[in-house]
Amino acid sequence: MLARTSLYLALAASALAVPVAQAATTDIAPASATSASQPVKTDPLYTYQWHLMNYGQKAIGDTRPVSGIDLKIDSLHTQNVRGKGVKVAVVDDGLEIRHADLLKNVVIGGSKNFVDGSNDPTPANTSDEHGTSVSGIIGAVGWNGIGGRGVAPEASLKGFNFLSSDVDGLENDQDTNIRYSWGNGREAKDAEVFNNSWGSAAWYYPAVDPLETASWEKLMSSTRNGKGGVYLKAAGNSFKTLSLFGIFELCEQDTRDLNIGCSLANTDSLNNLFTTIVVASVNASGKRASYSSPGSAVWISGLGGEFGFQKKYYPDTSNIVDWAKATFYDPAIVTTDLTGCGAGANADRDDGTIENALDTSASPLDKSCDYWGGMNGTSAATPTVAGVVALMLGVNPNLSARDVKHILAHSARQVDPLQPKAIYKGAIQDPGWITNAAGLHYSNWYGFGLVDATAAVRAASNFQSLPAQHDTGWLTSADKAVAIEGVGSQASKLTVNVADNLKVEGVQLGFTTTHEHPRQLRVILTSPSGTKSYVMPAFSTLTDTTGGFAVDLTSSNAFLDEKSAGNWTLQVLDMADSSATAQLQTFNLRVVGH
């Protein structure tokens, strides 16, 4: 079993302390039938869905999105590229299958409720709106006269509610239910895209059995008749905060000051599988969303926005955590909510609180409370990419999961090209954007960049499938243990030689040390071509250990398309102590490619 902390819904707003504020009048008018192109007339909230089409229009929030920061859907929908027939499994806390803006796209009888065993995953708990909001981002019905629309407005939706608040939370049950939802279960067997807007944010690297890793990858590769399902996974929302039980803040101020990220996406074992596509979040200004977890496990970015509040409704931020204040009034994502004003994120509240112009039955935009304008987090970014994948498979269902990953990486566009380096005592902890030896840009914040729907669909339409994949298996360094030295050292290295000359698709690694203060360690993996991947910066949130620190499984995507043959070098340095009393003992490496 993959050991994990308590699973989270990757919704950044849950990290905020929300004060009570007086309601105020809105400064956003309902969408005009003459203010945009013809399709907008029949989806009244579409104009606020900046992630689909962004021309700098007013959004739900006080700042305007930067024109052009969208998914580049462009004319795909009008060309009938809408994901028709592609089945997307929303693995989450539920899916309200009778929602008027989802029902047409729901596969009747194709979902699973792990609470009562039925095929209706509609939440019984009025606070389990997350999966319904995720589903709307992917596949809300378009041109039906209500609400907005999805990225893939004709994709077929299935819901699997393993995260329902009513489901037993034991890890064994979670693993069983995830596997069911990922293709083991009857209802999931024909799903092609699997959206997972959840994960685990940890202050340690969990123990992982290689056989268990192989079991997960085998399952995921076997779906879609052996072409492999496309599994999208949220990177996490722990750049600025990492709490224990939602109460005790574990992230230290030096982490925030260094711009390192409190917890890396890599601490979630499932994010390091070769069969997973890890999604980070970009906001409406085209930069990393304030909460989005970094890491060398990140593959690509979607659009998740910020918090979507408006000052005229919510003027008091005195109780909002400091790190969120700068983006508190920036646009979030407009999507579906549980229906009615007594359930979901958009509901009439006893204290009269209103968050923005789309909130509560007092909204001048939509009084039904069936939609909300505050969806955010890597929870929101992940389904934007899932929707794009549905568009890709809609034009070419023969693509393998490996093909999809390759296309997404090569068609992504670089955002925030001046991403700052994170530096401590002159030593780089995160280099920002790098260019690898194959000429690809990569960032631990953004992966290969922001997803581009038009470029991805164009590439997918005539893509020649990748050659058969080869796996080096796990290789171990033959070197003796070395001392872990301090800042500026060129030592503290172990090497693994790879004989197979593959074009790299992914790299996994692990290592053991006698070090007991892991947050002091910086870990760099260098390829035979000289590309450096900063797989673990110093000063993220990692707790002290007794008897040594080990990482069984982490990964790096920075080496895509490079040649695998030659020496791969792992360097571990202590950024806070140069006494060299601890040792780097072992280094293991696995490469897949073609």
Comma-separated ranges of CATH 2.60.120.260 domains in the chain: 470-593
Calpha distance 448→560 (Å, rounded): 10
Classify domain 470-593 at the CATH topology level. Answer: Jelly Rolls (2.60.120)
Q: Which helix (H) or strand (E) holds 211?
A: helix 210-222
pLDDT value for 172: 62
Comma-separated ranges of CATH 3.40.50.200 domains in the chain: 8-393
CA 54, 56, 60, 63 torsion-angle sign: positive
pLDDT digits (tens, 9 = 90+) for 249-303: 999 999 999 999 999 999 999 999 999 999 999 999 999 999 999 999 999 999 9
Answer yes or no: 348 catalytic.
no
Answer yes or no: 379 catalytic.
yes
pLDDT value for 524: 98
- Given the residues 43, 62, 70, 92, select the one marked as catalytic: 92
Q: In 3D, which of 590, 313, 277 has the Cα closest to residue 451?
A: 277
pLDDT value for 572: 98
Q: Which residue has the tokens 């929030």?
A: 61
Structure tokens at 179: 């596997």
Is residue 403 classed exposed, middle or buried when 0-12, 13-18 and 19+ CB atoms within 10 A define those classes? Answer: buried
Calpha distance 268→264 (Å, rounded): 8
Q: Which residue has the tokens 């043959």?
A: 565
**Residues β-bridged to residue 476:** 588
Contact 16, 316 (CB under 8 A): no
Q: In 3D, which of 165, 79, 152, 154 has the Cα closest to residue 121?
A: 165
Side-chain-side CA neighbours of 81 within 13 Å: the count stands at 24
- Given the residues 130, 406, 441, 515, select the one marked as catalytic: 130
Answer yes or no: 92 catalytic.
yes
Q: What are phi and psi of 104, to 5 degrees?
A: -60, -30
Contact 297, 319 (CB under 8 A): no
pLDDT value for 9: 62
Q: Which CATH superfamily is domain 8-393 in?
A: Peptidase S8/S53 domain (3.40.50.200)
- Given the residues 181, 238, 301, 379, select the one marked as catalytic: 379
The low-confidence residues of the chain, meaning pLDDT below 50, are 1-7, 13-41
Type of residue at 156: S
How distant, in Å, are the alpha carbons of 75, 81, 138, 453 from that of 458? 12, 11, 20, 8
pLDDT value for 11: 53
Q: Which residue has the tokens 């579409």?
A: 46
- Cα angle 248, 520, 545 (rounded to 5 degrees) comes to 65
pTM reported for the whole predicted model:
0.94
